[in-house]
Amino acid sequence: MALAPLIAYAHVRKSFANGHDAERVAAVDDVSLDIAAGEFLAIVGASGSGKSTLLRLANRLLAPDSGRVMVEGEDVRDVDPVRLRRRMGYVFQSGGLFPHMRVADNIAVTPRLLGWPAAEIAARVDELLELVRLDCSLHRDRLPHELSGGQQQRVGVARALAARPRIMLMDEPFGALDPLTRDTLGDEYRALHRRLALTTVMVTHDMTAALLLADRIAVMRAGRVVAQGQPAELSNDNEPYVAELLRTPRRQAERLNALLPGASAG
Ligand SMILES: Nc1ncnc2c1ncn2[C@@H]1O[C@H](COP(=O)(O)OP(=O)(O)OP(=O)(O)O)[C@@H](O)[C@H]1O
């Protein structure tokens, strides 16, 4: 028997008021999408296609107008939002660290709210810093502005993992970083996802990153999921927009193969 999905969107719709007029714009329009336990799903689409809105419906930062979002077998409407969010780590683009709080205190936010004993929190902070490959003695007492963008994102990941969630929601987590750092952090996060047996939903506009990191990709356009599948399945999809999104990574791969002969072998 197939396992029940860990996150399931069923005919979900979410609209927002459109400025001055009474018309509402559907940011998410009749989306049905299942995410299995242990899966790494990337949600890919252009700016404004509804990716972040879809993510925020999972942890109740937003509520759907209609349809249903299930997490771990429960309708999220029936779960206390604070309790729900403790089960789901959330990483966003700018790092979202509290600027006046030291790295250790940023990471400790949720364990403190949960009332963990101080010694346990201190040990967990060190464990998490190690997990995201930041030197404890160098970084635990720094303020966010004393860190590079990549280091801030590492702290963001550590903070999201603090209370040992099974699910990670990530909104363009590495989008603002230089390509090399983005690539390194992506690979390292992928290893963490596997090692900690996480279920990850990552929003990105970068199809190349999605192809390299995710098990499966859902493509959004104007609020709808227009295609979903593993990279090889997307490659055979008939939807013209999917072909358009795959054109850049394909062209890059061809050019790199021509410029760096033998690169694909290594
Ligand atoms: N709080 C809000 N109030 C009004 N409109 C909103 C709100 N949040 C999102 N929208 C609108 O919903 C649509 C989808 O936005 P969303 O942020 O989900 O897209 P996105 O694909 O994540 O874009 P980006 O990649 O730029 O972050 C956009 O038209 C946006 O303007």
**Tokens, residue 150:** 């990549």
Tally of domains within the chain? 1
User: 24 - beta bridge partners?
Assistant: 17
Q: Is residue 116 part of a domain?
A: yes
Reduced to 3 states, what is the DSSP secondary structure of residue 127?
helix
In this structure, the residues whose C-beta lies within 6 A of any atom of ligand 1 are 16, 25, 27, 45, 47-53, 205
Query: By C-alpha distance, which of 187, 202, 101 is closest to 152?
Result: 101
**CB 250, CB 257: distance < 8 Å:** no
Specify the pLDDT at position 1. 45
> 84: buried, middle or exposed (CB in 10 Å: 19+, 13-18, 0-12)?
buried
On the CB side of 3, how many CA atoms lie within 13 Å of its CA? 9
Q: Is residue 185 part of a domain?
A: no
Mean pLDDT within 231-259: 88
Mean pLDDT within 182-195: 92
pLDDT at residue 140 tops 80: yes
Atom 24 of ligand 1, residue of closest alpha carbon: 47
Q: List pLDDT tens digits, range 71-126.
A: 999 999 999 998 898 899 999 887 789 999 999 999 999 999 989 999 999 999 99
**CB 24, CB 17: distance < 8 Å:** yes
Specify the pLDDT at position 3. 63
Q: What is the pTM of this model?
A: 0.91
- Name the CA dihedral angle for 74, 75, 79, 82, rounded to a multiple of 10 degrees: 100
Q: Is residue 140 part of a domain?
A: yes
**Which of 31, 53, 201 most suits a substitution to test ligand 1, by most atoms within 8 Å of the C-beta?**
53
Atom 31 of ligand 1, residue of closest alpha carbon: 48
Q: Is residue 144 part of a domain?
A: yes
Mean pLDDT within 36-55: 96
**CB 208, CB 249: distance < 8 Å:** yes
Q: Is residue 207 part of a domain?
A: no
Report the alpha-carbon distance of residue 92 to residue 105 in Å, rounded.
Answer: 18
Specify the pLDDT at position 266. 45
Alpha helices (H) along the chain: 51-58, 81-86, 103-107, 109-113, 118-131, 136-139, 149-161, 179-195, 207-213, 231-235, 240-259
Q: Is residue 108 part of a domain?
A: yes
What's the complex ipTM? 0.96
If you search the block for the tokens 């690979």, which residue do you land on? Answer: 187
Strand 167-171: give its sheet, edge to edge: 88-92, 167-171, 199-204, 40-45, 216-221, 224-229
Q: Is residue 105 part of a domain?
A: yes
Q: Find the 1 Cα to ligand 1 centroid distance in Å.
A: 37
**CB 202, CB 194: distance < 8 Å:** no
Report the alpha-carbon distance of residue 205 to residue 201 in Å, rounded.
Answer: 13
pLDDT at residue 11 tops 90: yes
Residue 114 sits in which domain range? 97-164
Q: Is residue 196 part of a domain?
A: no
pLDDT at residue 129 tops 50: yes
